[in-house]
């Protein structure tokens, strides 16, 4: 299978581990000897219930998720969560305001979406370019905010937080779509973590949401029921039909991560792999340039440009589309 497989460095949907694809291939027509595919299986069947429960318990084990957190497998992607987070959490306090750190495209989109539901405060001075995490000493956090939101790894701009923001007791929310399970995380520091699976833990279609139980139940009236955490958590992600096959693939990836040595092993691997590319950039005498500040360079996606500082624009490729930036 591997001989003809093309290297795919895309951030996501991304290359899946070969054992995952082989297992899915083997079980595609006949899952576990029951004569049907996961693609055809009822989400209420006992076989799918086992798949769902196994995925949840593996995830709990890999991240050491405390018992007072709910785990959900939802549809709608990371973008769905840009809406779900304010719809469910901005009402936690009467003022209906939320603090956002905006360090790239994805947190910017999330902040814009949240503006529909309450007041959004960007906690740091506006950035000219998305190449760093603003120094925490420049943040002005609002103690009355319902939550503080940040994107742990900005997939387009390659800016990754190497610390967990200190919020002085305000609920912390993080989009970990593109560095999920790439290192150990102390879940107890967060009110909510979400991650679209297609970057690090599977294929498109399922988004993992981990939420502290006491934050449920303050959902705004206008929240669509499919995005209501209390409803989804109360129904174990089965209020409506979940993305069954994507959850199955997620389970296979989690199993693979566990067999590789878990999040600590993933962290080691990600540092080694990204380190090789950053070394090459640093040693290229300015032929390649990484615009991101040394302290927050992503281990997941490495943006680089060709040419010294402002180099030759036509030679540059847009890191997102992969196409030259020609006029
Ligand atoms: N958050 C991050 C960090 C992302 O990289 C992406 C997409 O690439 C999203 C959110 C949006 O995810 P989706 O396309 O699943 O809506």
158 CB near ligand 1 (under 6 Å): no
Q: 97 with 118: CB under 8 angstroms?
A: yes
What is the average pLDDT across 163-175?
Answer: 97
Above 50 in pLDDT, residue 92?
Answer: yes
Task: State which ligand 1 atom lies nearest to the alpha carbon of 155.
Answer: 5
Q: So what's the pLDDT on residue 318?
A: 57
327/324 Cα distance (integer angstroms): 9
pLDDT digits (tens, 9 = 90+) for 14-70: 899 999 999 999 999 999 999 999 999 999 999 999 999 999 999 999 999 999 999
74 lines ligand 1 (CB under 6 A): no
Helical ranges in the chain per DSSP H:
18-27, 46-63, 77-89, 105-114, 197-200, 229-234, 244-260, 262-282
- The minimum-distance atom of ligand 1 relative to the CA of 76 is 16
Residues 195, 176 contacting (CB under 8 angstroms): yes
Percentage of the chain modeled with pLDDT above 90: 87
The mean pLDDT of 201-216, rounded to a whole number, is 98
Give Cβ neighbours of residue 212 (< 8 Å, ≥ 6 apart). Answer: 68, 69, 171, 190, 191, 192
Averaged pLDDT for residues 85-93:
98
Q: Is 196 in the pocket of ligand 1 (CB under 6 A)?
A: yes
Question: Would you state the pLDDT for residue 313?
Answer: 65
C-alpha closest to that of 99 among 78, 88, 114, 87: 114
Bridge partners (DSSP) listed for residue 73? 208
Q: How far is the CA of 207 from the centre of ligand 1 (A)?
A: 10
* Active site (annotated) includes residue 139: no
Cα 64 from Cα 84, distance rounded (Å): 24
The pLDDT value given to residue 153 = 98
- Average pLDDT of the residues in 103-124: 98
Among the listed residues 70, 199, 228, 255, the single catalytic one is 199
pLDDT at 231 > cutoff 90 = yes
Could you tell me the pLDDT band of residue 327, with boundaries at 50, 70 and 90?
Answer: very low
Q: Which of 80, 154, 196, 197 to mutate to test the pocket of ligand 1 (most atoms within 8 A of CB)?
A: 196
Average confidence (pLDDT) over 244-261: 98
Q: What whole-number percentage of the chain has pLDDT above 70?
A: 93
Catalytic residue among 99, 106, 228, 255: 106
Q: 107 C-alpha vs ligand 1 centroid, how far in Å?
A: 10
Average pLDDT over residues 143-165: 97
Model pLDDT, residue 10? 82
Q: Output Rg (C-alpha) for the chain, integer angstroms.
A: 20
Residue 79 has pLDDT above 70, yes or no: yes
The answer to whether 99 touches 141, Cβ cutoff 8 Å, is yes
Residue 7 predicted with pLDDT over 90: no
Q: What is the pLDDT of residue 326?
A: 47
Residues linked to residue 194 through DSSP beta bridges, in sequence order: 175, 209
Nearest atom (ligand 1) to Cα of 196? 15
| For range 238-266, the mean pLDDT | 98
pTM: 0.94
Could you give the CA distance from residue 219 to residue 216 in angstroms, rounded to a whole number?
7
Distance between Cα 325 and ligand 1 center (Å): 22
Q: Mean of the pLDDT values across residues 143-161? A: 97
Q: Could you tell me if the CB of 13 is within 6 A of ligand 1?
A: no
Residue 8: pLDDT band by 50, 70, 90 thresholds?
A: confident
List, as own/partner pairs, every contact residues 245-249 make where C-beta atoms lie below 8 angstroms and the sequence separation is at least 24, other chains included: 245/38, 245/39, 245/205, 246/197, 246/202, 246/203, 246/204, 246/205, 246/206, 247/51, 247/52, 247/55, 247/73, 247/206, 248/24, 248/38, 248/51, 248/55, 249/16, 249/20, 249/24, 249/197, 249/202, 249/203
């Amino acid at each position: 299978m591997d001989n003809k497989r093309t290297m795919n460095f895309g951030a996501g949907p991304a290359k899946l581990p070969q054992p995952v694809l082989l297992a899915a291939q083997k079980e595609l027509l006949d899952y576990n000897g029951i004569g049907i595919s996961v693609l055809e299986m009822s989400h209420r069947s006992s076989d799918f219930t086992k798949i769902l429960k196994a995925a949840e318990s593996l995830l709990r084990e890999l991240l050491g998720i405390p018992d007072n957190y709910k785990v959900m497998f939802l549809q709608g992607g990371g973008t769905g969560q840009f809406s779900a987070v304010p719809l469910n959490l901005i009402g936690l306090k009467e003022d209906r305001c939320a603090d956002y750190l905006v360090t790239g495209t994805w947190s910017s989109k999330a902040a814009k979406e949240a503006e529909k539901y309450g007041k959004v405060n960007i906690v740091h001075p506006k950035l000219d370019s998305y190449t760093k995490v603003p120094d925490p000493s420049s943040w002005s956090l609002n103690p009355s905010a319902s939550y503080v939101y940040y994107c742990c790894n900005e997939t387009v701009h390659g800016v990754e937080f190497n610390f967990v923001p200190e919020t002085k007791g305000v609920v912390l929310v993080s989009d970990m779509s593109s560095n999920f399970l790439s290192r150990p995380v102390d879940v107890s520091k967060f009110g909510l973590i979400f991650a679209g699976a297609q970057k690090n833990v599977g294929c498109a279609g399922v988004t993992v949401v981990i939420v502290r139980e006491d934050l449920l139940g303050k959902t705004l009236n206008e929240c669509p029921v499919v995005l209501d955490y209390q409803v989804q958590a109360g129904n174990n992600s089965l209020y409506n039909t979940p993305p069954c096959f994507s959850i199955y693939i997620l389970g296979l990836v989690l199993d693979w991560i566990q067999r590789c040595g878990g999040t600590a092993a993933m962290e080691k691997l990600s540092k080694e792999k990204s380190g090789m590319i950053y070394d090459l950039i640093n040693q290229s005498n300015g032929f390649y340039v990484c615009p991101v500040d040394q302290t927050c360079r992503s281990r997941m996606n490495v943006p680089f440009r060709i040419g010294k500082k402002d180099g030759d624009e036509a030679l540059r490729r847009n890191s997102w589309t992969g196409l030259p930036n020609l006029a």
